[in-house]
């Protein structure tokens, strides 16, 4: 009898270990979650910046995955299926940059032969989060800006200059909205950025990465939908959104029958619903705290908070209404300050309007999308990572010889 009890206890331990390790991979039974999920999201929920490892969702798996996913995402170490999309939130925060949240940025990878990576917005702190994922810096060549607010493009100089120094040799392509006037569009932004980085670019003479510091810009219409990219099985289309003034867009990415819609900053908009027509797997929609919560946290009058939230952004309750109309397999509240005073009320306000699968985005929340399922996890990163170098289209010698040293350096340089 004693031996039987010991055997049963050992089996229970082994079963618990295997269940924890592969919880994300066991096909869901009816009425049961496929991974260990949160049962509620409130003030007591442990958040990623505190060391929390669970995504902020009570539905971490929609559908039945056809392959195994570990509970914690490690994008560089995990295979990406040939028909799969992986979306990583590089920046989930708002304009006030924090150690716990980078500003606005979303990365999308696809499983095509080229293993294309697309960056949608690059707010401050996003590049550091990308670097920690240990994906190839040589793949950082395609950027889509939703608009030109600083919290959506603040890391552009770092992306252009630093990742070229780190090993990127291919030039960068940037897409972004036109403006009502020439000086308000992405082309003008790109020209001024190029001028501002002239010293940085010239200093790379003789460096293999100088070609990788070059970039070209293409404007997309701010007032009508358009297909703006179509290569290697990937189609990206833009659509206008309502955000303060003309010159803001959202994007939809389609690949192998799966799709992602990313709104950037917007008020609740019919154009977003139109972009989701035909079905969408993942809708990433900006969400700000409700005006009373924002006023209290920001220390501003509630009338001012109402202007910020209701006339430039989307409240949690209105996000819920959009989610219900859009009908995505998984909807995401993004651009939301994630702390204990915000998360619980925002989630409950959204739930007053919508009861489908929803995730509150944190930095490094990861969505794996296939025709079978959408799986949500948190990623781990290397905080002291070094660059990972992959294949480049550009080869051969640097573009230019090193800059000649100024004459006065000879007498000023310490050599022993």
pLDDT digit string, tens, across residues 250-282: 999 999 999 999 999 999 999 999 999 999 999
Which CATH fold would you assign to the domain 48-376? Metallo-beta-lactamase; Chain A (3.60.15)
pLDDT in tens, 368-383: 999 999 999 999 999 9
The tokens describing 7, both together, are 């055997």
- Rounding to the nearest 10 degrees, give the CA dihedral for residues 196, 202, 203, 209: 100
Q: Where are the domains of the chain?
A: 48-376
Mean pLDDT of 231-252: 98
Q: What is the mean pLDDT of residues 2-6?
A: 44
Tell me the pLDDT tens digit for each residue of 340-369. 999 999 999 999 999 999 999 999 999 999
Q: How far apart are CA 319 and CA 333, in angstroms?
A: 8
The pLDDT value given to residue 235: 98
CA geometry: angle at 248 spanning 247 and 253, to 5°?
Answer: 135
Read off the pLDDT band of 35 (50, 70, 90): low
User: Model confidence over 316-336: pLDDT tens digits?
Assistant: 999 999 999 999 999 999 999
Euclidean distance between CA atoms 212 and 196, whole angstroms: 17
Whether 12 has a pLDDT exceeding 80, the answer reads: no
**What is the predicted pLDDT for the residue at 25?**
32
CA–CA dist 327, 237 (Å, integer): 19
pLDDT for residue 14? 37
Poorest-confidence range of 27-31, 72-76, 215-219? Answer: 27-31
């Amino acid at each position: 009898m004693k031996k039987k009890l010991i055997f049963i206890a050992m089996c229970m331990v082994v079963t618990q270990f295997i269940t924890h390790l592969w919880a994300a991979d066991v096909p869901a039974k009816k009425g049961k979650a496929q991974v260990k999920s949160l049962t509620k999201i409130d003030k007591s929920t442990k958040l990623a910046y505190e060391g929390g490892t669970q995504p902020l969702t009570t539905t971490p798996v929609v559908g039945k995955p056809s392959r195994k996913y570990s509970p914690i995402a490690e994008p560089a170490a995990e295979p990406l299926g040939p028909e799969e999309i992986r979306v990583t939130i590089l920046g989930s925060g708002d304009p006030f940059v924090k150690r716990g949240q980078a500003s606005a940025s979303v990365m999308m990878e696809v499983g095509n032969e080229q293993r294309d990576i697309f960056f949608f917005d690059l707010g401050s702190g996003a590049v550091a989060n990308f670097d920690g994922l240990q994906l190839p810096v040589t793949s950082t060549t395609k950027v889509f800006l939703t608009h030109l607010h600083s919290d959506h493009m603040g890391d552009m100089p770092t992306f252009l200059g630093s990742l070229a120094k780190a090993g990127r040799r291919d030039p960068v392509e940037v897409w972004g909205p036109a403006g009502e006037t020439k000086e308000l569009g992405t082309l003008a932004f790109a020209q001024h950025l190029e001028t501002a980085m002239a010293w940085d670019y010239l200093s790379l003479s003789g460096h293999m990465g100088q070609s990788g510091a070059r970039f070209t810009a293409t404007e997309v219409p701010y007032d009508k939908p358009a297909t703006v990219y179509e290569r290697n099985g990937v189609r990206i289309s833009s659509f206008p959104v309502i955000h303060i003034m003309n010159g803001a867009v959202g994007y939809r990415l389609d690949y192998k029958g799966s799709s992602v819609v990313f709104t950037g900053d917007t008020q609740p908009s019919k154009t977003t619903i139109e972009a989701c027509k035909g079905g969408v797997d993942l809708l990433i929609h900006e969400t700000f705290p409700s005006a009373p919560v924002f006023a209290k946290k920001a220390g501003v009058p509630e009338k001012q908070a109402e202007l910020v939230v209701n006339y430039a952004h989307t409240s949690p309750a209105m996000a819920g209404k959009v989610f219900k109309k859009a009908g995505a397999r998984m909807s995401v509240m993004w651009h939301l300050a994630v702390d204990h005073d915000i998360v619980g009320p925002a989630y409950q306000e959204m739930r007053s309007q919508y009861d489908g699968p929803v995730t509150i985005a944190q930095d490094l929340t990861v969505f794996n999308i296939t025709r079978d399922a959408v799986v949500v996890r948190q990623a781990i990163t290397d905080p002291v990572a070094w660059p990972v170098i992959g294949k480049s289209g550009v080869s051969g010698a640097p573009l230019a010889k090193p800059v000649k040293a100024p004459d006065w350096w000879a007498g000023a340089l310490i050599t022993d």
